[in-house]
Structures are given as C-alpha cells and as structure tokens.
Structure 1
Amino acid sequence: MRVCLLLLVVAISFPAPDRLFAQDGSEPLKIICFGAHPDDAEYKSGGTAALWAAQGHQVKLVSVTNGDIGHWSMAGGPLAKRRAAESAKVAERLGVTSEVLDIHDGELEPTLENRRKITILIREWDADIVISHRPWDYHPDHRYTGVLVQDAAYMVAVPFFCPTTPPLKKNPVFLYSSDRFQKPYPFEADIVVDVDSVFEKKVDALTALVSQTFEGGALGSADKMAAAPPESRPELRREWLRDKWIGRQSAEAKRFRSGLIKWYGEEHAQQVQYAEAFEICEYGRQPTDDEIRQLFPFLPAKSE
C-alpha cells in the first residue's frame, strides 16, 4: 500500500498586486509562468521575467507541484517547504512573485479540479501572457502542466466556468517555453529574447535553488553532491553554476540565432550570447509582430 506523506506547509503564495504603472508610465503587463516543479519556470523564463520586472511589469512564477520527491536523500513535507522557500528566494532576486501549489510531485493529473485551479490562477492574475511547458515532455508533470494550461486557454474567458472568479475580458497570449523534444513536432521559436543584460542576475537567483543546483535534485547522489563546491565557498559555487548556465543559455542563442535576427536585426543578434525562446500556442490569442513588441517591450522597435 502506498502511503502519502503529510505536508504541513507546502506553499508560499502572494496575491496579485494591483496594476500600478510600468517604468514608462503605462499600465503594467501581467505575466504568469507555470512550471511543473519549483525550479522549472525559474530555469526556462527567469531571464525574461527579470527583463519584464526591471521595466515595472508584474510576473508570477507558479510551481504546479510542490517538488516533494525532487531530491535523492529527502522527501515529503520538509523537502516541499525547503523547495518553496528556495523558489521564493529566486523570485525575490528576480523582482517577481512566486507560488507553489499543494500537489504531490510526480502525481499531477489533468483533472477537472486542476483545470479549475489553473484557470482561477490566470484569472486572478489578470494575465496578458501565460507561459508553460509544451504538453509533450519526458516528465509526466511537465506534460500535464502543458495540458492543463492549454485546457485553460479557452476557459479563462467563459463566464460560467468557475463562476465565482470573474472571467477575463480578453484572452491572453499563451506561450510555450523551449525544449528539445522532436515528436510530435519540434519546438518552434516564435519569440527569442536577448537575456545578456540579466544573465548574471539569473545566475545569482538560481544559486538559491540549492537542493537542485548543488545537491543534484531527484537523480542526485552523495558523489554528485560532493562534486559541487562546498557551501562554505559561495563564490566558487556561483562560478560553478555560472559555467553550467553559460553552456545552457549560449546554446539557446546559437540554436535560435535566426529568431534573434528577426527581432533584433542582424548586427545586434550576432552579438547576443544568451537567449530564452518561446513558442506561441495556437489556443490563445494570436498576436501580430507589433503586438509581440508591446508584450515584450524590451524588444527593439521595428526598423523601417
């Protein structure tokens, strides 16, 4: 018989802030990024989130499960609390908000109850942009996060679905974060963002994910943990992690160079070292290129 561990505290949640003003005096954009675990949204969208936040826009990173089996030597409530705290620290460093849902790691299912949870979160945030995994991935929690967000793409505007939460008056733009899976079709980089200016901030933020970055997460081991610099040498830890992210983020820039050229022009694009990329989901609002520049206001204006 399988025994589920009781979770005493599993979530750190903040209410959606009021719409104040962006840096340029306009109404701020509202972006909500869904990851399956307390590290996924941070890894995939952390740089772009920092760019939005720097201009006064409001970003929320949501972990759809609590990560309570995402470590090789601990689990349950203590790990869930630890990972929620790590995720909150990353969000603080990026200038954004975080929330971790009370769903067991490895047990996410595309149920009606969970569809309602996702729909309500998007409505409460009054989202302009919604980001998630694609619904085909190596991890079932990743896949079902993508399915649940896709399933919400229409329902967020339907008045009598979750009728106690007001529906959105406009349908957000739904985006997928990048991956390398090829079937049923490979990721298409519709939007590619230069994150050079916030790369160091992203690395600094990710050092807070100690259980995953320095201890190896679910597939770690004592040997893998020993290979990372010790906790007593935080400067070495940061450089060790930075080297890993140089490889990861520069690979995105090289892979999606043509997308960088589209949005930044040839001269700028060839200088970009680090990038994050997004695909437009067919189920939400379909933006024009001009609308994309409004939603990603750090992209340069279209050259005449």
Structure 2
Amino acid sequence: MNKLAFIALLITIPFFHAYSQDNKINVVIIGSHPDDADKQAGGTALEFLKRDHNVLFVSLTTGDAGHQTQGGKELAQRRFSEAQEAGRRFGVEYIVMDNPDGKLLPAIEIREEIIRIIRKFKADIVIGHRPNAMHPDRRNSAILLQDAAYMVIVPNVVPGVPPLLENPLFLYFEDNFKKPNSFKPDIVVDITSSFEQKIYGMAAHESQFFEWQPWIAKTLDKVPENEQERLEWLASISQGQLTKEKQTQLIKWYGKAKAKKVNITESFEICEYGKRPDDKEIRRLFPMLGN
C-alpha cells in the first residue's frame, strides 16, 4: 500500500462508525477518477446534505494520467490533494483508491473493496457510471458496481464485513451515449439552489476543470485567470440541457408549478441489479423530490 492509499485509509476509518442512524439516508457516489462524483452528482449530494443525510465520494483510481504535462506520482498526489479540498468544500469524505488511471479492470480485489465501502457506509443509494461510457475506466467501474450490487447482501462474500440486509438502490450517472441504449432519466433532481456551491466544490479540481479538460477540448485559451471569473466560466459550461424527457420527470416528481421554476438538474437512471423501487420508495430515498 503506497502513501496515498494509506492516507485515504486513515481518513476513512473514523467516519464509517458515524453512519448507523436509522433515520439517515446514506449515499455513496463512486466515480472512476477524482472529480467524477463532484461533476456528475455534486448538486444532488448537497441536496442530501442540506437535509442532514450522509454522503461519501469515492474515486476508483488516482487520476494519475489525466493531464497534458504532469503525470505519475506527482499528478496522483496533486489530484489527491484536490479531492480532499473538494471534499471539504462539499462537506463530505473523499476516498481515492490506489488504482492507476487508464488501467482500471473489473478485478475481484477491487470489487471486494467496493463491497467493503458500501457495507461499512451502510449505503441506501449507490451512484456510478453506466457501462457504455466513453472512457474504459468508466466502463469497467460500471461493471465493478454492477457485480457488487448483489454481492453486498451475500454473507460469504467479503465475510470480514457484515452484509447489508437489503440491496441499496443502484443508479447510473447521466451521459450522452446512445448505443447500445440511451440514458433514461428515471430520477431528476432540482439542484438550482445548490448549483453555485457545486461549482465551488468542482473548482477545487484545478488540474481538471481549468487545465486538462480545456486542453482536450481545445478551449484552454478561454480559461480565465481570475478566480471569480473561473467560477463563472465553469458554471457556464456545467449547467447541462433540460430536455423534454427531463421536464416530464420534473413534473412527475415536483409538480407542474415547481417544475416550471427549475433551471438546473442532475438525472439518474435506475440500475436493475440493485433495489427496484416503486415511486413511494423513491420519494422516501430522495426526500428533496417535491419539496
């Protein structure tokens, strides 16, 4: 175990004991890289936290390949520090697992570590990537989560950690890929009031949102130097599109009057391998819906 993984383990040990309150909803958001959880579900995380529920961010890799000039241990350490700062801004713990960026595989040992995390956190909801994402790490992380979905309730799998009594609700992040199937927004969360804080949390990942991703998109020359202007610029490219399908779901979950006032959302698709909830159960697990 290297230094980064050891630090991450030290961070996670004390807080797991705090998440046993029966009236709390425990949400684990698992990305392939540091910054994925923040970008894909940061607003929803804040909506849970506002209501005094519990959220954990996890990155399955160190992110040590995601930059145009830095790499290896130097970048891994930088991204670990960024993730911890992002966690502070969001108000969550942020685990960064010790797997190299670009080389994530659906290995048994990684699956078992995911099972441990989900069990220790007593997760009610687990959110991660769909299996047809562009990046191989994201596709493989989806396989890992799908393979863990049933196993979290099997006592003889990872016997050192007590199994969950029932499957959590597993959800997919939104993406724009159409084949073999398009994303389906089963749950749409209004994050309008949390969006500014989400952007502030995302901005902790300077290496990604102000360097690497603009370089990939050939927009590096458009990144402002001033911190406030950077936040405004990041917000302008992070709002997403409110499609007719999402609007229909907003009306379902919030009612017509409130749906008309929603500007920014995050959407999630239900994974069939976990809990299969009815609408009443979804409202219980997502208490912000309709409020």
Query: Would you say same fold, with TM above 0.5?
Result: yes
Counterparts of 1:44-63 in structure 2, within 5 Å, are 44-63=40-59
Shift of 1:169: 1.2
Greater shift in the superposed pair: 151-160 or 111-120: 111-120
1:60-83 deviations in Å (ceiling 9; x for gaps): 010001100100000011111111
1:99-152 deviations in Å (ceiling 9; x for gaps): 000000000001111111111111111100011101111111000111000000
CA contact (8 A) 1:229 1:237 kept: yes
Question: Which of 225, 234, 239 in structure 1 is aligned with 2:227?
Answer: 234
Relative to the length of structure 2, the TM-score reads 0.92
Residue in structure 1 matched with residue 252 of structure 2 by the alignment = 262
CA contact (8 A) 2:185 2:245 kept: no
Counterparts of 1:162-177 in structure 2, within 5 Å, are 162-177=158-173
Partner SS for 1:258: helix
Residue in structure 2 matched with residue 215 of structure 1 by the alignment = 211
Shift of 1:217: 4.2
Q: Which stretches of structure 1, 4 residues or longer, exceed 2 Å deviation after superposition?
A: 6-15, 216-221, 223-227, 252-255
Residue in structure 2 matched with residue 72 of structure 1 by the alignment = 68
CA contact (8 A) 1:69 1:218 kept: no
Shift of 1:225: 3.7
Name the CA distance, whole Å, in 2 between partners of 1:200 and 1:227: 20
RMSD of aligned Cα (Å): 2.0
Counterparts of 1:1-304 in structure 2, within 5 Å, are 8-9=3-4, 12=8, 13-15=11-13, 16-19=16-19, 27-217=23-213, 219-220=215-216, 224-230=219-225, 233-246=226-239, 248=240, 251-252=241-242, 256-300=246-290
Gaps of 5+ in 2: none
Relative to the length of structure 1, the TM-score reads 0.89
Over the matched positions of the two proteins, sequence identity in percent amounts to 42
Name the CA distance, whole Å, in 2 between partners of 1:7 and 1:156: 27
The amino acid of 2:12's aligned partner reads F
How many equivalent pairs are there?
A: 286
Shift of 1:226: 4.1
Partner SS for 1:73: coil
Partner SS for 1:214: helix
Name the CA distance, whole Å, in 2 between partners of 1:192 and 1:224: 30
